[in-house]
Structure 1
């Protein structure tokens, strides 16, 4: 049954693919607005014939954004970046891009609107990522008062940028950094649960609330790296790095991103973000208010980190050689 048309900005990203899948499962038609539609052909097979439409739109061009919003019954903004690259800046994507979308939503009188921000979003934050996320929330709320804002903690899932990043590092280096000593707290949340939360709010129609989305357990940065190493069956030294040294380490990470086809493993702005705990606030609305029981790190992460073990799924704990064959 067709429940209407939802335009999704940022639908080709890690979270976006899960959101598109969740919307399709609820019977919506989905219009994915993206800069390069030809790179998102895999999205079209998520739904039935014609259920997922790809449309060219660039957040720097208001007319293209307006065309993507026109005729939609609901709009979702997932557009975000983790580090700056070329014309993709925090100010340009998080603030100006979000403002352009919100203006189009208001102009077309769409009241069902979900915007994804992040735990720690604060206009006064030291981190540019967190500051611009906070500024965007204020701009959007003023333009579309009915917007629901979702603030997830770090996302985990098959293509995540946290566990995969450090598991990849563990393949090549004997030491992993504990930024600021590794005491920063996180409440990792499964990407599929966040997608379900967004689709659920679209089905209910947004009503101007803010949700903070975290998993069932809080971990320190050190605990997360220890668990990752346990899952991939590797022993690595976890070296505490004081905040000053972490800044230099972030600079090295940024320089690594200058190598073609390489992403920076860390940036100075991410180091600033790590100075603040990334956990759900007391009394905040969350997944349980949307009827969602969150998945645990322990239930999901091993299913995709297995590829980093020496022999993949055939790895046997405590053995460094190929598993012995057993007779029939």
Structure 2
């Protein structure tokens, strides 16, 4: 019988790419999610019955144990950028990884891959980063040979980074950002999935790997790159931290008063994160150590950001026609 991997958050941005890769390797894939009915799109990743979404509440021992039993490996992709209800940073990013690792060890699971983030540190000013570090420690306590992956910003067709700002670029002549000079090293989502695949297959040693692409750029430079791809001219405005904090407080109050109808465009914790560079450390193990060649943004961004161009898919055709008229 083929081996089985349980992927917690396997229908999310990163998880779906890992699920697809493991299905291609012939593994049975159990996709553990809160709403299985909303994750049915993962089933065609493999043959009939090979990839199955199942219910799991990562805050509950019995629920995690049920989807861990019988697995040969587990992957945890669950994380939150903002706290909503019971899904707090502490519950999701500190307690849940430890729970998954503990129950995996109890069920004799041989390998675990945990998706964390660059910047995870117990000394960080950001609760997001502190709980990421706590989650890593909890995983290694129970699964000392686990693979910990710390990606920088992850980009790809379903990302919430370039897609969000490209959408904002359609709203006016100014594109506001916080932390314009902060450095990032965006990594392609399938490169992260390839790293996780090696961990599941046992093709790489455990330990901490920091994952970044070939380009290190400031937030401002990333936004200019995005604007070049979507062919829009906008003023990139760096907002002072004190203004950003006022905005974060205002959005937080509005979110509560409207019962969640108005989203939080930015939070106070995100502002703290944006003050710190998000790049691979010089002495860290990374994609090169996994024999994975990082994918450049230039090779991927045009494939999914074209829809934000003034004329969408017809923008290139219109430019070509204009060149013909001028010649």
Fold equivalence (TM over 0.5): yes
Alignment deviations for residues 257-294 of structure 1 (CA, whole Å, 9 cap, x no partner): 56656643322111110111000011211111111111
Whole-Å separation in 2 of the counterparts to 1:43 and 1:279:
31
Q: Cα 1:257–1:221, aligned 2, differ >3 Å: closer, same or farther?
A: farther
2:269 paired with 1:272: no
Q: Is the 8 A contact 2:98 2:135 kept in 1?
A: yes
Conserved 8 A contact 2:199-2:206:
no
d(CA) in 2 for partners of 1:184, 1:223: 10
- Which stretch of structure 1 is more off in the superposition, 23-32 or 263-272? 263-272
- Partners of 1:326 and 1:317 lie apart in 2 by 11
Partner of 1:292: 292
Partner residue in 2 for 1:233: 231
Match of 2:118 in 1: 119
Residue 279 of structure 1: SS of its match in structure 2? coil
The alpha-carbon distance between structure 1 residues 87 and 231, as it changes in their structure 2 partners (threshold 3 A), is same
Alpha-carbon distance, 1:173 to partner: 3.1
Match among 181, 184, 198 for residue 182 of structure 2: 184
8 Å contact kept, 2:204–2:290: no
Give the C-alpha shift of residue 117 in structure 1.
0.4
Q: How do residues 26-105 of structure 1 correspond to structure 2 at under 5 angstroms? A: 26-105=25-104
Q: Distance in 2 between matches of 1:42 and 1:166?
A: 26
- 1:14 counterpart SS class: coil
In structure 2, relative to structure 1, the CA distance for the partners of 1:32 and 1:261 (3 Å cut) is farther
Partner in structure 2 of residue 303 of structure 1: 303
Deviates more, 1:308-317 or 1:269-278: 308-317
Q: How does 1:7-18 map to 2 (within 5 A)?
A: 7-18=6-17
TM-score (norm 1): 0.92
Which residue does the alignment assign to 1:204? 202
Contact residue 95 and residue 132 of structure 1 kept, 8 A: yes
Any idea what SS the aligned residue of 2:247 has?
Answer: helix
| 1:84 CA drift (Å) | 1.1
1:213 corresponds, among 211, 214, 232, to: 211
Cα-to-partner distance string for 1:161-212 (whole Å, 9 max, x where unaligned): 11011111111133222313x1100000000110011011211266431100
Q: Does the 8 A contact of 1:6 with 1:74 survive in 2?
A: yes
Superposed CA deviations along residues 221-243 of structure 1, whole A, max 9, x for unmatched, are 00001111111111211112222
Alpha-carbon separation, structure 2, partners of 1:234 and 1:5: 46
In structure 1, distance between residues paired with 2:2 and 2:190:
21
The CA deviation at 1:314 is: 1.8
Residue correspondences, number: 323
Deviation for aligned residue 1:246: 2.1
8 Å CA contact 1:315–1:323 kept in 2: the answer is no
Judge conservation of contact 2:116–2:150 (CA < 8 Å) in 1: yes
Which segment drifts farther, 196-205 or 209-218?
196-205
Whether the 8 Å CA contact 1:34–1:54 is kept in 2: the answer is: yes
Once residues 17 and 292 of structure 1 are traced to their aligned partners in structure 2, the CA distance between those partners, rounded to angstroms, is: 19
RMSD (Å) for aligned C-alpha atoms? 2.2
Helix, strand or coil for the counterpart of 2:93? helix
